[in-house]
Structure 1
Amino acid sequence: MSRNYYIFKSGRIRRQDNTIYIETEEGNKPVPIEDVDSFYLFGELDLNTKFLNFLSQKNIPAHVFNYYGFYAGSFYPREYLNSGFLLVRQVEHYSNPNKRLAIAREISSAAAHNILLNLAYYQSRAKEADAVAAIKDEVEGIASRIDEAKDVSELMGIEGNIRERYYAAWPAILGPETEFEKRVRRPPDNLINALVSFGNSMMYTSALSEIYHTQLNPTISYLHEPGERRFSLALDLADIFKPLIVDRLIFSLINTRQIKPDHADKQMNYCYLKEDARKLFVAAYEEKLQTTIKHRRLKRHVSYRHLIRLECYRLIKHLTNVERYESFKAWW
């Protein structure tokens, strides 16, 4: 089974025959191309068009992060599973307000459900359990309005309110010794916000890689507004899985003190993760993606990574009138 390759060291990455070589000060590491699902490039790496052409031939995306660990962009090879029929159906469901709203509601409903699962888990385990319980009740009340939303902009407002209250429970979940008051982006201002930003970028790229291996067009989305310079469908799918993968990893890494305050480099107006923190997170993230659960409907074990692919297939079935879209809602 192919897997993700995360490259933190600086050097050169090149193709020789059917093998990729990663050249660093420590030597050359061969990577058989059949073993690669996606590349994640964190180090300062030299590469050329011969390497990129090879990735395109083998249908392998590459995601690039800058010196501070912030997502910079993706090399998205030409699509190899094109379907004009599905593209027309995607556009039709976006252009029709009622059809778009139906899909957007399902995405928001799954995100809210998975957020509530996290709150329910920590309701009995957090040091300030009463605070978590109170916020859980608030989130349930806000989520009950999802089906009443009249358009996508109202739905986005509801989801924003859910996440605002959800983040308000994090100090109780993480403990008073952890610095976190509210979600701050662009740039993050403390360790937790830096972890959330980094983790959300990883989730976005994972969703994008899974979309690439289907016939879906990643620029046509339903909850997030399609725009220039982004693959907005990946944002839609990432919303469903962020509570299950990213947020749970952050809770675990902080509460077990695997990641500590000194893993962050805090400057005057921003904070970013040091390389050792990014490596710790990526290792835990990849382990989570490979973890399997017994799927209720399929009656077999599937990995978290494959759950994202299955979500793509569910959406395709809905778009082609095979089966109504029911978003993924965890049960554990």
Structure 2
Amino acid sequence: MGSTRYITSMGELSRKDDSLCFRKNGKNVYIPVETTKEIFCLNEISINSKLLDFIGRNNIVMHFFNYYGGYSGTFYPKNQYMSGKLLIKQVKTFECDRITVARAIVDGIGKNIKEVLYHYYKHEKPEVKPVIDWLSGEFRKSTEAAEDIPELMSYEGEAWARFYGTFEFFLPETFIMNKRVKRPPDNPINALISFGNTLLYAKTVSAIYRTHLDQRISFLHEPAERRFSLSLDISEVFKPVIVFRTIFDLVNNKRLQVEKHFERKINYCVLNDEGRRVFIEAFEKRMESVFMHSRLKRRVSYRTAIKLDCYKLIKFIMEGKAFVPFSLKEGV
């Protein structure tokens, strides 16, 4: 799966000469360091400080997840892209022009939700038209007029809620959502959204790590301890494009089925091992899929598009150039 390695089984990860070795059930699986940029640990694994030192020296980001597929944390190598000048400007932008960046992010979310829904409207699902119209009209006017972050966040929340409300028109009944439940997810569709959002968040952590931006200083979400809040900002506009299009494709083509790919208990629902394998494969395929970038005039992957949004934000912070997050319709 390109430069990303997923570990889904219990075992031990260690350094073996100049490679990584994952040992499970008495067998060794070798992971080449030179082609690995990030590792996703989706099960319990044993590691030691010698391994972490080796991973750190090779600038590999290592993400850890809990039993429910939720994000636990990241081993973040010493940052090799530090820039004091950008850090100062990023803080000043937060203090003086936070609303501009936040408004651009919320507007980008609305545009990409609208584009995803328009696909279903074109394929004889007229029931989604009221939400498309709302996103084009009242939602955009409201975000443009918003005067503070809480107001913007309320419009963003309403956009997602209306989006979730359209699922009944193009998803099977077994994947209909009653309400969004996160910790832990309580039904198959919530399980898929939580898992997909978590993978995308970790991908964004990796992308920001390879720029000079500071992960802790965000604009739409409140900067917080114990999480990389800028990754929440950058990943938001890509959720409709990457996470939800992956979910819709897998569900509507019956590649994921409730009775076959989920583990359900009294108060939670998670993907089983086979379900995670199917989702990860589709998620990575979409991350690596390409589109014609309208400004660069070349084909670009969605993985690269996330990093390009980081550079757009840097341009805004350093040069005042308008920050316009990724648009599915415009291909930029």
TM-score where L is the length of structure 1: 0.95
Report the CA distance between 1:270 and its aligned residue: 1.6
Q: Give the Cα–Cα distance (whole angstroms) in 2 for the partners of residues 25 and 292 of structure 1.
A: 37
1:281-320 paired onto structure 2 within 5 Å: 281-320=279-318
Q: Which structure 2 residue ranges, 5 or more long, are not aligned?
A: none
Q: Where does residue 63 of structure 2 map in the other structure?
A: 63
1:151-300 paired onto structure 2 within 5 Å: 151-262=148-259, 263-300=261-298
Q: Which amino acid aligns with 1:36?
A: T
Output one character per residue of 1:44-63: Cα deviation in whole Å (capped at 9) or x when no partner: 21110111111111111111
Report the CA distance between 1:285 and its aligned residue: 0.7
Q: Give the Cα–Cα distance (whole angstroms) in 2 for the partners of residues 290 and 2 of structure 1.
A: 8
Q: Give the Cα–Cα distance (whole angstroms) in 2 for the partners of residues 220 and 284 of structure 1.
A: 31
Q: Where does residue 42 of structure 2 map in the other structure?
A: 42
1:64-83 paired onto structure 2 within 5 Å: 64-83=64-83
CA-based RMSD: 1.5
In the alignment, is the contact (CA less than 8 A) between 1:142 and 1:161 conserved in 2? no
Q: Where does residue 23 of structure 2 map in the other structure?
A: 23
Report the CA distance between 1:130 and its aligned residue: 2.8
Q: SS of 2:319's equivalent?
A: coil
Q: Give the Cα–Cα distance (whole angstroms) in 1 for the partners of residues 171 and 193 of structure 2.
A: 13
Q: Give the Cα–Cα distance (whole angstroms) in 1 for the partners of residues 18 and 321 of structure 2.
A: 40
Q: Give the Cα–Cα distance (whole angstroms) in 1 for the partners of residues 249 and 93 of structure 2.
A: 39
Q: Do residues 137 (structure 1) and 133 (structure 2) align?
A: yes
Q: Give the Cα–Cα distance (whole angstroms) in 2 for the partners of residues 246 and 144 of structure 1.
A: 27
Q: Give the Cα–Cα distance (whole angstroms) in 2 for the partners of residues 52 and 60 of structure 1.
A: 9
Output one character per residue of 1:9-32: Cα deviation in whole Å (capped at 9) or x when no partner: 211111123211111126212212
Q: Give the Cα–Cα distance (whole angstroms) in 2 for the partners of residues 202 and 162 of structure 1.
A: 22
Report the CA distance between 1:67 and its aligned residue: 2.5
TM-score where L is the length of structure 2: 0.95
In the alignment, is the contact (CA less than 8 A) between 1:12 and 1:22 conserved in 2? yes
Q: Give the Cα–Cα distance (whole angstroms) in 1 for the partners of residues 258 and 202 of structure 2.
A: 26
Deviates more, 1:239-248 or 1:261-270: 261-270
Q: Choose which of 141, 145, 148 in structure 2 pairs with 1:148.
A: 145
Q: Give the Cα–Cα distance (whole angstroms) in 1 for the partners of residues 240 and 68 of structure 2.
A: 24
Q: Give the Cα–Cα distance (whole angstroms) in 1 for the partners of residues 236 and 26 of structure 2.
A: 39
Q: Give the Cα–Cα distance (whole angstroms) in 2 for the partners of residues 308 and 290 of structure 1.
A: 11
Q: Where does residue 101 of structure 1 map in the other structure?
A: 99
Q: Give the Cα–Cα distance (whole angstroms) in 2 for the partners of residues 34 and 200 of structure 1.
A: 28
Q: SS of 1:144's equivalent?
A: helix
Q: Where does residue 108 of structure 2 map in the other structure?
A: 110
Q: SS of 1:189's equivalent?
A: coil
Q: Give the Cα–Cα distance (whole angstroms) in 2 for the partners of residues 250 and 26 of structure 1.
A: 35
Output one character per residue of 1:219-263: Cα deviation in whole Å (capped at 9) or x when no partner: 100000001101000000110100000000000000001101122
Output one character per residue of 1:256-303: Cα deviation in whole Å (capped at 9) or x when no partner: 011011222222222111111111111111111111111110011111
Q: Give the Cα–Cα distance (whole angstroms) in 2 for the partners of residues 154 and 33 of structure 1.
A: 46
Q: SS of 2:242's equivalent?
A: helix
In the alignment, is the contact (CA less than 8 A) between 2:242 and 2:286 conserved in 1? yes
In the alignment, is the contact (CA less than 8 A) between 2:174 and 2:258 conserved in 1? no
Q: Where does residue 125 of structure 1 map in the other structure?
A: 123
Q: Give the Cα–Cα distance (whole angstroms) in 2 for the partners of residues 61 and 48 of structure 1.
A: 15
Total equivalences in the alignment: 328
Q: SS of 1:222's equivalent?
A: coil
Report the CA distance between 1:177 and its aligned residue: 4.4
Report the CA distance between 1:74 and its aligned residue: 1.1
Q: Give the Cα–Cα distance (whole angstroms) in 2 for the partners of residues 209 and 311 of structure 1.
A: 13
Q: Give the Cα–Cα distance (whole angstroms) in 1 for the partners of residues 213 and 40 of structure 2.
A: 22
What percent of counterpart residues are identical? 38
Q: Give the Cα–Cα distance (whole angstroms) in 2 for the partners of residues 139 and 170 of structure 1.
A: 16
